[in-house]
Structure 1
Amino acid sequence: MDHSLETSKRKEKLLQTMHKLQVKSGSALQQTSPLLNCHTGMGMVTVQHMNHLSQTVSQVCRDLKNIENLVRFRQNWLKYKIANPEGDHSDGLSGIHCGLDGTTYIVSVSSPRVHVLNRSGQVVRSLHCVQNQGRRKEPFLPEDVTLTRTGLVAVTDIVGGTVRIFNPHSRFSEGEWIEIGKINCPKGIGVDRSGKLLVTDYTGGSVHIFAVDHTFRQQHIQTIAGLRGPRYISSMYDGGIIVSEECGDVKVYGSNLKLMYSLSNKYCHQFGNPAGLCADKEGNIMVVDEQKRNVILFPKFGSPVCIVSVGLKKPTSLACSSYGLVFVMDTGDNCIKVFKYRVNTGCGSTKTGQSNHKPYT
């Protein structure tokens, strides 16, 4: 906690303001309630007075919610960096996914592989992206990564026009990538609340939703059409789906796959080039803006909050953990930058791994 004099004064002023508002509203309620309950008329109160009061109260409620969000969230709090597992002189980082247990999955197209990292950022396993062609093994280029409901790794393969799932129980000792269906140009991939795979078709302007049975066959295929260059996709805890469009907007769909709203319209926000996105358990949506090189958090209630505004060179993909961290893939810096964006609700600390990195200033 910052114990500087300036911070203490700001906290004191904020608490005084909140207390004054509470006292004034409580006093007004005590004085007017008996009159409203017993008085036969409304005195000189007009419709204009009521409209003005309603608008003022609505604005105060919005301001209070924004203050609450600004207190809860943090900006540019870099916890640590995860270097490219392929080395400093390699490139080609692509998708990223963070599991509920803190395990991170990183796609590297220079090898190509999917690296599995523990909460300390150490590689515990690497899955080589090769397909069996008879007696030969041919590499394929993974684009994005997620986990199926049963914990299997799934990636998109743009060149092959398919989704591939890693089956560790195949007849090959090292495991095997199974091809799942054909899609024109699969890019982003995710899993919804029911366990169905979500795949964006970049050139087709659509999203494909389907289940995969135990024999790795597609079931219950559904499609969302009418998108412009859909890139990344993620599910929300309430069953909704969020999709980013290249040089466009971020669309939010309900559990019935109907368009609910776009973030630019709902929050009056102008995107440059929205890329990776994710949603946490509180319903907050986070989006990487590749052009503006920042990360914007869209709270369930209140105005957007910029949680990362400096230190990014070319951010693309994004993932958030269940313990208040957001993982930003910065391909321009050839690493993953991990930020703490949400403070703890209690007084105790949450263990998120050790780091000697200081926050950006």
Structure 2
Amino acid sequence: MHEFNKEWKLSGIQRIFYNSLVGELGGFGSEDGKFIWPTSVTNTLDGDLAIKDTGNQQIQIFSAEGRHKQTFSYGSENTKCLGDVTCTKEGLLLVSNGSKGIKVFTKQGEMIHLLKSSKADWKHSYGLAVVNSNSIAVTDWTDGGKVHIVAVDWRMNAILKTNVVDGLQRPEYIAVTKDEDLLVTEGQLFGEHTGCCLKVIDNDRAIKKTIGPKYGNNLHFINPSGVCVDGNGNFFVADKGRNNITMFNPKSSLMAVVVTHDLEGPCGINITNSDLLVVADCYHHTVKLYKYKQGIIL
């Protein structure tokens, strides 16, 4: 089923394909190719998918066509389902698991370093994103919530310095726009905290915009989780409370709900090299791929 939305021509997308599921990986299990609580997905340099299989405490590699290629363990979880996987511009896989250190692996599964330093004061790592060739961003639940911008010398696997953005509340996943703004989701919070929103952090590393809890006329975030950006600058937010995926244009002035069914606890999301939206559907123990724009060749 699809729907034409003329307004989206401003963002380079003229036709939105709603709920167009084109592929599904996994299913419940511990053997290769199966998942228990997949929570994050990223692209490798050669176009494969690296999936964080949190319940099995391993990374699984699939081809873009959905063929299982490799599995390797990243060790124990410091906190249940807390962590992320991302790929550097050099092709290394970074894995967070709720602890202070970030584990660095080759794509073949060899752990080559534990990235930590006295200069890096995060205690509860969650989301990861590559900002540029020499720095990464790490979300952290310490003291309410922070984002750490970490400069790294990849030749020496050493942290050079960190900058900290305060003023967040239990930030979860993080993505980077082409202008190097940071998009950070805050999930469902209770008590005096607000949450249920996405915050935009600009190049000066100040929070310049908050989207949510309400967006659009009759919609609101309940528990936003994964976030990613496509090649046109549109960004996507997964909501594991509403079990949907919403797309916003680069200025966040237009939005469309692009996936509205058959999800249960969507967490990490990404855009493949072939322009498919890939979703870690945590409680269905699967990873799903959706077509969301015209002109995609399957």
TM exceeding 0.5: yes
Structure 1 position 256, deviation (Å): 2.4
Distance 1:305 1:101, change over 3 A: farther
Matched with 1:77 is 20
Mapped to 2, the partners of 1:228 and 1:263 lie a distance apart of 14
Matched with 1:197 is 136
Mapped to 2, the partners of 1:265 and 1:239 lie a distance apart of 24
Matched with 1:150 is 90
Q: Which has the higher helix share?
A: 1
1:140-289 residue pairs with structure 2 within 5 A? 143-158=83-98, 160-167=99-106, 175-181=110-116, 183-204=122-143, 205-213=145-153, 214-247=155-188, 248-264=196-212, 267-268=215-216, 270-289=220-239
Higher alpha-carbon Rg: 1
Matched with 2:242 is 292
Percentage identity across paired residues of the two chains: 23
* More deviation, 257-266/318-327: 257-266
Letter in 1 for 2:63: N
Give the alignment's Cα RMSD to 1 decimal. 2.9
Letter in 2 for 1:114: I
Mapped to 1, the partners of 2:10 and 2:152 lie a distance apart of 42
Q: Mark the runs of 5 or more structure 1 residues left unpaired by the alignment.
A: 12-62, 131-138, 345-349, 353-361
Structure 1 position 267, deviation (Å): 4.9
Mapped to 1, the partners of 2:135 and 2:61 lie a distance apart of 22
Residues 193 and 237 in structure 1, CA contact (< 8 A), matched pair in contact too: no
Of the candidates 17, 34, 37, which is equivalent to residue 92 of structure 1? 37
Distance 1:331 1:202, change over 3 A: same
Structure 1 position 123, deviation (Å): 2.1
Structure 1 position 167, deviation (Å): 4.9
- TM-score between the two structures when normalised by the length of structure 2: 0.82
Of the candidates 74, 89, 98, which is equivalent to residue 129 of structure 1? 74
Q: Mark the runs of 5 or more structure 2 residues left unpaired by the alignment.
A: 189-195
Residues 108 and 114 in structure 1, CA contact (< 8 A), matched pair in contact too: yes
Matched with 1:331 is 282
Distance 1:145 1:90, change over 3 A: closer
Structure 1 position 266, deviation (Å): 9.6
Structure 1 position 184, deviation (Å): 0.9
Residues 206 and 226 in structure 1, CA contact (< 8 A), matched pair in contact too: yes
SS of the counterpart of 2:147?
strand
Distance 1:129 1:64, change over 3 A: closer
Q: String of CA shifts for 1:307-352, please: whole Å, max 9, x gaps.
A: 00111122122111243211111112110010001112xxxxx433
Between the two proteins, the alignment pairs up a number of residues equal to 276
Higher relative contact order (CA 8 A, sep 6+): 2
Mapped to 1, the partners of 2:150 and 2:165 lie a distance apart of 12
Letter in 2 for 1:317: G
Distance 1:146 1:329, change over 3 A: same
Mapped to 2, the partners of 1:255 and 1:118 lie a distance apart of 34
Distance 1:168 1:277, change over 3 A: closer
Mapped to 1, the partners of 2:77 and 2:17 lie a distance apart of 39
Distance 1:255 1:281, change over 3 A: farther
Mapped to 2, the partners of 1:311 and 1:265 lie a distance apart of 23
Structure 1 position 111, deviation (Å): 3.1
- TM-score between the two structures when normalised by the length of structure 1: 0.69
Mapped to 2, the partners of 1:243 and 1:259 lie a distance apart of 10
Mapped to 2, the partners of 1:123 and 1:168 lie a distance apart of 14
SS of the counterpart of 1:150?
coil
Matched with 2:191 is none
Letter in 2 for 1:74: F
Residues 17 and 258 in structure 2, CA contact (< 8 A), matched pair in contact too: yes
Structure 1 position 232, deviation (Å): 0.4
